[in-house]
Amino acid sequence: MPINQLVHKACQARENAYAPYSRFRVGAALLSANGVIYTGCNIETSSLGLTICAERVALVKAISEGQSAFHAIAIASSTRKICMPCGACRQMLWDLAGNIDIILTEEDQPAKQMKLADLLPHAFNRQDLPE
């Protein structure tokens, strides 16, 4: 799967963002291990705390379709500058997608690539919970 295709999908998904409050539109494209791409955009509500990020929308779509292994996620914002995933998304991606590649975009092009573990060092894990 070329990175450019994943980035293109993230940019397309951004078009569907519902962000009338922040006016910051985000798109994400998550690549599953069997090659299917799941996209997401941020969705805000008048009760601002109920907002969900593009990354988590893509992730819950994939999980709800039965996916359980992933390679990478691309993220594109409407400012065309790099958009780092928020802390909540980092934790949820870590728990459900593992140490995937994070592809950050600038001007709708791949700009930086890193591992999720680099963004969430010393992460909390399910193994930390009592048996």
Q: Which residue ranges make up the site for ligand THU (CB under 6 A)?
A: 19, 22, 24, 26, 42, 44, 51, 53-55, 75, 83, 85-86, 89
Q: Are 117 and 101 in contact (CB under 8 A)?
A: no
Say whether 131 is catalytic.
no
Q: φ and ψ at 23, to 5 degrees?
A: 55, 25
Min CB(121)–ligand THU separation in Å: 18
Min CB(22)–ligand THU separation in Å: 4
- Terminal-residue alpha carbon distance, the chain: 38
Which DSSP state fits 28?
Answer: E
Min CB(24)–ligand THU separation in Å: 4
* Active site residues per annotation: 55
